[in-house]
Amino acid sequence: MKNKLILLAILGVALMFVAAGCRSNTVTGNVVAEKDSAAPVQSAQKPAAQTEQPAPATDDSIYAVECKQDSDCGETVYGERYCFQNGVVTPLTKNICVNPGSIKSYCKREMADEVLMCASGKEVCRKGECYVLANLPCTDSDGGKNYDVAGTVVDAEMLEYKDYCIDKYQIMEYFCPSTNKGLVLKEPKICTGGKCITGACVD
């Protein structure tokens, strides 16, 4: 009987140890579970949408094209016309586009003369205009074919012609014609009953 009691006591102690071990495993499992539940959860996040990068700038976008044609640089400026060697000269300032349409384009000014020649023998330049000689006045200081007076004729080109003696008996008389007013005509004339002195027939 005594041996049975000792055996039951040993079995009781053994069961206590077994129960304690199970409790320890249960606690440890909870701890592990808690640790596992406390671990950060990595959620599957979508990568942020990437913004489109602008295309690399080209030379044309960096440097503006200044001009594509001459008119982009401004209008031509005309100066006051004048006469030179029976031609009408118009000074002007041109605005020119260099390297048109290129990033190296630029505007520059050039000064030049525009020349319009009047018709030789038919027109004359006056105050920057071509005038028809026949339509311009001719003046004769002695009034026309006056052989007794030494006269001076001025034509449309503002040129002077003076009566003169060809020899001591002959005169060269200049006069304005009734037609082709701006032109000058001349006529040799023998002095009748006298001599030619300083462009006039003198008795």
For 197, residues 6+ apart whose C-beta sits below 8 A from its C-beta are 165
- Return the ∠ at Cα 141 (arms to 173 and 198), rounded to 5°: 50
Taking alpha carbons only, the member of 77, 74, 71, 75 closest to residue 100 is 71
Tokens matching residue 198: 């300083």
Give dist(CA 84, CA 91) in Å, integer. Answer: 12
Name the DSSP letter for residue 178. S
- For the chain, which residues make up each domain, given as ranges? 62-126, 136-202
Alpha helices (H) along the chain? 2-38, 59-62
Q: What does pTM read for this prediction?
A: 0.45
Q: Using an 8 Å Cβ cutoff, are 116 and 129 in contact?
A: no
**Residue 137: per-residue pLDDT:** 85
Tallying the residues shown for the chain, one arrives at 203
**Residue 20: per-residue pLDDT:** 53
CA distances from 144 to 11, 112, 172, 181 (A): 174, 45, 13, 12
Q: Using an 8 Å Cβ cutoff, are 144 and 175 in contact?
A: yes
Give dist(CA 170, CA 189) in Å, integer. Answer: 6
**Residue 142: per-residue pLDDT:** 92
What is the mean pLDDT of each successive set of 10 residues along the chain, which is 203 residues long?
A: 59 58 44 42 50 52 82 93 94 94 92 94 88 86 92 89 95 86 88 91 91
**Residue 8: per-residue pLDDT:** 62
